[in-house]
Every structure is written in C-alpha cells, then in structure tokens.
Amino acid sequence: MTADRALIVGIESTCDETGCAVVADGRTVLSNIVASQIDLHARFGGVVPEIASRAHIEAINTVIGQAMAKSGVQPADVAAVAVANEPGLIGSLLVGLMAAKTLAWVWDKPLVAVNHVCAHAYSPALDAEPIEYPAAALVCSGGHTALYRCQSPTELTLLGGTIDDAAGEAFDKVAGILRLGFPGGPAIDRAASCGDPTVVKLPRSLLKGQSLDFSFSGVKTAVLYHVNGLPGRRKGKKGRLGPHAQRTMAQPNAGRGIENFTSQEIADLAASFRAAVVDTLIIKLRRAAKATGAKTLILGGGVSANSALRSAARKLADKLRCRLRLPAMAFTVDNAAMTAGLGYHYLRAGRLADYSLTARGTTGR
C-alpha cells in the first residue's frame, strides 16, 4: 500500500456521539458509523456527562465492529488509529481513547492524537476536493466557537473564541426557552424558516473594534427577557432600566411567558435569534478573512448545518471573492471520519502519539 492510500481508523467520543470511521487517503470515507445519544439526553434538555460516558462504553465496540465491516478493510491493512483526545467531556473522551489505544496495541499500528475542533475545520475535505490553504476557518458547535488561521490541515492558529456560551449551546438554551426541544439548533432552524427575523430586535455582541472573540450569553438572555419579562418586573411597570432592557420591554407582547406566544410569534423570535447569531458569526468570519488575507473560508461544526449560516457564508464568500468550503451535512455533526481524515495528515507529518497519550477535557474556550 502506498502512503497516499493509507487507511486510517478514526474514533470519536468527545461528547454525545460514539463514532468510528475508516478513511482512505485522508478524504475518501469508506465507512462512518455514528451512534447518537440524543434520545438519552433530550429529556434533560442538554448532555448529561455521566450518562454520555456510560453510553459510549456500551456503544463503542459495536460501532467499531460496524465501521470495520462496512469498510471491508482488514486490520492488517490499517495504517494508523486516530483518536479525538481533546477537547470534550473528560469521561467521554477517555472511552474513545482507551478503545483507540487498545486497537493500536492489538493491531500493532501507530496511534495518532487529533484535536476535535481542528478536525471540524478539516471536515469539508471529506468526500470532496482538498482544501486550498491558507484559509480562515469558523468552527461552531455545541461546545466551541472558534476562528482559526489555517496554513495546512495540521497548522492552525487560534484567532478568537467564545468568552461565554458556544453558538450551538446558545441555540440549545434558546430552544429550551422557546420549548422547541433538544437539540435546539435544528429545531430553531426549522421554526425560523416560517418567521420574520426583523420582528424582535436582539443585540449583536462584541462587534466593536476588531475583536475576533464571541459572546452569545447576551442575546440568549435578551430572548429570555423577551419571553418572561425582566426578573421581578411586570411589563408596563416604570423604573430605571438599561437601554437594552428598555428596548426589550418596549417590544409588543414581550414578557407574557412562552405559553402565551402564538406559533407565529415563536417563529418570529426564533428567526430573530437565528439572524442575530448568524450576523455575529459572519461579521467575525469576514474580519478573520481580512486579517489573514485568506482566499478560502471554511465552516465546520454542528452549527454549520444551519441553513441561514450556510447561505450567509455563501454571500460573504462571493463578496470577498473567496472559495467557501462547507462540510457535507453528514460531517457537520460529530463524527469519526473527520478524525481519521485529519489523522492521515498527522501520520504523514510523522506526528505520532504513544500509549502515554492522555485525554484533555474542555477547560473554557
């Protein structure tokens, strides 16, 4: 087998999806099995770490077996085992890491460590043309919002990140406020498609100066106030309010409680929230493109499935005369194909891990 046809087995268990994939040459996906835990977490309105790690333990062997069987690849032909060992939920990461170490040891293959967020930035290359570098990448998912300057698949410099909620986390929390279910991103995207994004005025944070950091907790709280009113205040009651709170309370129907909102009002609020998040993401991506001079824009992560974000990114790329690389929908959510794909490039660069490899959980941005 030539180095260009190296077959990489990838393992993903950073959050609530257990994944195993076999990828040839860093781009051709031979199999990509994902066992989602959404049903287990839905009634809690978010991912419960302890439940997630237990579910990974139950699923991992089956998922690996299915991925190998579907690919038709024999262990002897595998070039390396790649694992997402950071960032993520620590208990979940450990399950995938142990499985990957075990495979590497039993099959006597090299072990490769992959950063999960960097793998999202590589995901548009899967089952597609190679990405042309340098690029500016925006990764937004449930746990991360990050902008990178990318010189190659393996050389990424962090330009900015969220100082509070990640974009996907904000979608999930706002969907909770609107009682649209979990995961919130797809639910808000669906509801927003029937709504008017100009109806509710919501803030766009951290747009001053040239900051490449993000903050989504303000817009989330503005939605909460719009639905429930300000804590301890009824609509109509006079008092000293900040400018945004005044604006929020001045909006028609604000503060009545979600059960009193019509489905059209919920759709308008979902559309207004989606527009606020998308505007913010796109403004920052434009800044990153200008700051880096990159002619390729990359989107990745679960939120890159968002229809409004995808079309706004297309418009931005046209305006800046940049190429735009979007992941196929199957590779927007957490998956092991992107881990294997990026792992191939680490293998080629000789960046191998050993059995002392540890998992590193999310520690902020």
168 binds, among Zn ion, ligand KG4, none (CB under 5 to 8 A by kind): ligand KG4
Name the nearest CA neighbour of 146 among 175, 126, 174, 116: 116
Preceding amide of 231 cis, omega within 30: no
Can residue 12 be called a binding residue for ligand KG4 (CB under 6 A)?
no
Q: What is the DSSP code (8-state) at residue 45?
A: T
For the purposes of burial, counting CB atoms within 10 Å of the CB of 115, is it exposed (0-12), middle (13-18) or buried (19 or more)? Answer: buried
* 119/254 with CB nearer Zn ion: 119
* 52/103 with CB nearer ligand KG4: 52
Q: Alpha-carbon distance 18 to 34, whole Å?
A: 6
Stretch that binds ligand KG4, among 34-42, 178-186, 230-238, 244-252 (CB under 6 A): 178-186
Q: How far is the CB of 306 from ligand KG4 (least distance, A)?
A: 3
* 10/183 with CB nearer ligand KG4: 183
Q: Alpha-carbon distance 202 to 224, whole Å?
A: 11
Can residue 334 be called a binding residue for Zn ion (CB under 5 A)?
yes
Range 315-334, binding ligand KG4 (CB under 6 A): 333-334
Stretch that binds ligand KG4, among 163-171, 199-207, 221-229, 249-257 (CB under 6 A): 163-171
Q: Alpha-carbon distance 334 to 203, whole Å?
A: 29
Q: Which residues pair with 164 in a beta bridge?
A: none
Q: Alpha-carbon distance 276 to 219, whole Å?
A: 8
Angle between helix 167-177 and 184-192 (nearest 10): 70
Q: How far is the CB of 256 from Zn ion (least distance, A)?
A: 36
Q: How far is the CB of 34 from Zn ion (least distance, A)?
A: 12
* 218/300 with CB nearer Zn ion: 300
Stretch that binds Zn ion, among 25-33, 62-70, 289-297, 326-334 (CB under 5 A): 326-334
Cβ-count burial 330-346 (b if 16+ within 10 Å, e if not): ebbbbbbbbbbbbbbbb
Can residue 189 be called a binding residue for ligand KG4 (CB under 6 A)?
yes
Q: Are strands 145-152 and 135-140 parallel, antiparallel or unpaired?
A: antiparallel
Q: How far is the CB of 189 from ligand KG4 (least distance, A)?
A: 4
Stretch that binds ligand KG4, among 38-46, 50-58, 140-148, 198-206 (CB under 6 A): 140-148
Q: Alpha-carbon distance 255 to 223, whole Å?
A: 10
Q: For Zn ion, which residue of 53, 85, 141, 215 counts as binding (CB under 5 A)?
A: 141
Q: Alpha-carbon distance 246 to 235, whole Å?
A: 10
For binding to ligand KG4 (CB under 6 A), which residues are involved? 15, 141-143, 168-169, 171-172, 183-186, 189, 301-303, 305-306, 333-334
In the complex, which residues of this chain contact Zn ion (CB under 5 A)? Answer: 141, 334
